[in-house]
């Protein structure tokens, strides 16, 4: 019985709080009581302001011509190929993963610039262009770091297996 009373009180408090929060404030009521003259004056000011035209491109990579799409996919393939080359630096002893990743990212960045240029030339939406390049860079960096870390882990495992082990004593009965 106590829990039922508690629930009913909780519901009443919630309803009261909702009505208090959603009451219109005095500021809102003052603003709605503007005269017709004030509204007309505001409209005149808006008409006098210079019109700023912003043309936003709604073109997506799927809307590009077939030739442009081939160029785009070519740039993507070249970037992926550059990023995923099995570089010798991965397998050298004593290299830092950060320096290898930095060298690879720097070497492959021109391919992303080519992709950005192809998309810009074909008037693809700016947000789509930037998002596509950013997503490709992030995915490739994650995969690159995974490959580098796996190589370093393999080197560590190989080094652990080749370390000299003390010969075990043979016990004869």
Domain ranges of the chain: 61-158
pLDDT at 71: 93
Angle of helix 97-121 relative to helix 66-83, nearest 10 degrees, comes to 170
pLDDT for the residue 107: 87
Output the pLDDT for position 72.
Answer: 92
The pLDDT averaged over each successive group of 10 residues in the chain (173 residues) is 73 74 58 51 49 66 90 92 74 72 86 92 89 90 83 81 64 64
Please provide the size of the chain in residues.
173
3-state SS class at 108: helix
Which pLDDT score, from 0 to 100, does residue 117 have? 93
Q: Which of 125, 27, 121 is nearest to 72 (CA)?
A: 121
Query: 119 near 79, Cβ under 8 Å?
Result: no
């Amino acid at each position: 019985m106590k829990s039922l009373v508690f629930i009913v009180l909780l519901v009443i408090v919630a309803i009261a709080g909702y009505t208090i929060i959603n009451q219109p404030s005095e500021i809102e009521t003052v603003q709605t009581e503007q005269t017709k003259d004030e509204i007309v004056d505001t409209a005149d000011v808006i008409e006098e302001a210079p019109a700023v035209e912003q043309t936003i491109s709604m073109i997506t990579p799927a809307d590009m011509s077939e030739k442009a799409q081939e160029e785009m996919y070519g740039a993507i393939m070249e970037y992926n190929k550059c990023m995923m080359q099995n570089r010798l630096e991965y397998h050298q002893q004593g290299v830092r993963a950060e320096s290898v990743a930095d060298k690879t990212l720097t070497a492959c960045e021109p391919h992303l610039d080519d992709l950005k240029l192809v998309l810009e030339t074909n008037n693809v939406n700016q947000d789509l262009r930037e998002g596509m390049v950013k997503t490709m860079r992030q995915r490739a960096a994650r995969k690159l770091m995974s490959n580098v870390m796996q190589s370093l882990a393999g080197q560590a495992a190989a080094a652990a297996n080749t370390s000299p082990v003390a010969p075990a004593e043979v016990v004869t009965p």
